[in-house]
Amino acid sequence: DGTGTVPGFLFAHPVLGDAYCQTPYFPDPTGELGDFRTPVFSVQDFTEEVESWALFGSVDWDVTDNFELSAGLRYIDEKKRMTNNFTALAPPPPAGFPVDESDSWDDVILRFTANWALTDSNRLYFSYADGFRSGGYASRANNPDQLTYEPEDVTTYEVGSKNDFMEGKLRLNATFFYTDMKDQQYGVVIQDPFQAPGTNTVVNNADKTEIIGFEVDGTMLIGDYFTLIGQVGIQDAERKAYDEQCDRVPVGPLGTAGIPGLPPCEGDTISLPAQQLPRAPDWNWSLTGVWDQNFGRTRMNASLTVRGQDDFVISSNLLTGESS
């Protein structure tokens, strides 16, 4: 009836037999949804070829009987070629297509670990690792100037301890971790009602994203047949404030792109506040009890788990940082 959630689905064309994307059409700039019997009909042909190769080497060094160092290095090279084209029945297809582009990215990433055995049952460790995700092409973007996005670089640090107590009946581990992401890739959907296919999905690169947290897990054997397993985690995962090109974010009316020079844009850019990362609750915990016992040639076991977690973000308002 034109008043519900905006749908999108695939259907088979009765003549052509191809899969077409159907999205509702907005007939005027007031934002009132038009009759769903006048949708946008469009077909997209997107292909991507990826060539990736890597060279890796590592070395392990037993410095002493209870202290070990390990290091590794990897060179990564990745090339992508993309073709993209739209054909629309109504409204007209976006300008600038078809597109045929290629690009390549390469990086050197490192891994380093240190393990120190305090005793036969207690160990400390430290690890450092780089991560790399190549750039690419947004397959659902309908603006040829907004197809590409840049590589994402990640650095992780972890300090922890692994321990056995009570002659192995109690195991207790603790970990502190920190993740630093540069140019994090994240997607946004911009409403583009007067141009097929009705939306423009852009992948942006945030300047800086941080995740910091602490986790403890333990296992305890109680008697001969019952085991208790527990875990508690606390973290703060946030994409930091940064400036983005105004026409690459849905900050206009009804989720359309921002217009450079008009509020809330500042010239060609807009200042986006810090955002909590999606699906990353501030805390979580779980507790599991396991009963396991043999009865002659028959083995029986049963378990019960309870768990909880904080509310987490599914999506957030780019202008305010408020979550939903």
Query: pLDDT tens digit string along 237-294?
Result: 999 999 999 999 999 988 899 999 899 998 899 999 999 999 999 999 999 999 999 9
Q: What is the pTM of this model?
A: 0.82
Pick from 44-58, 62-76, 92-106, 229-243: least confident: 92-106
What is the Cα–Cα distance from 28 to 193, expressed in whole angstroms?
9
**Cα atoms in the Cβ-side hemisphere of radius 13 Å centred on 67:** 2
Query: pLDDT tens digit string along 200-243?
Result: 999 999 999 999 999 999 999 999 999 999 999 999 999 999 99
Is the pLDDT at 16 greater than 60? The verdict is no
Confidence band, pLDDT 50/70/90 cuts, at residue 32: very low
Dihedral (CA of 28, 33, 36, 41) sign: positive
pLDDT at residue number 195: 82
Q: What is the mean pLDDT of residues 156-178?
A: 96
Is the pLDDT at 22 greater than 90? The verdict is no
Question: Three-state SS for 280?
Answer: coil
Strands 226-239 and 199-222: antiparallel
Confidence band, pLDDT 50/70/90 cuts, at residue 6: very low
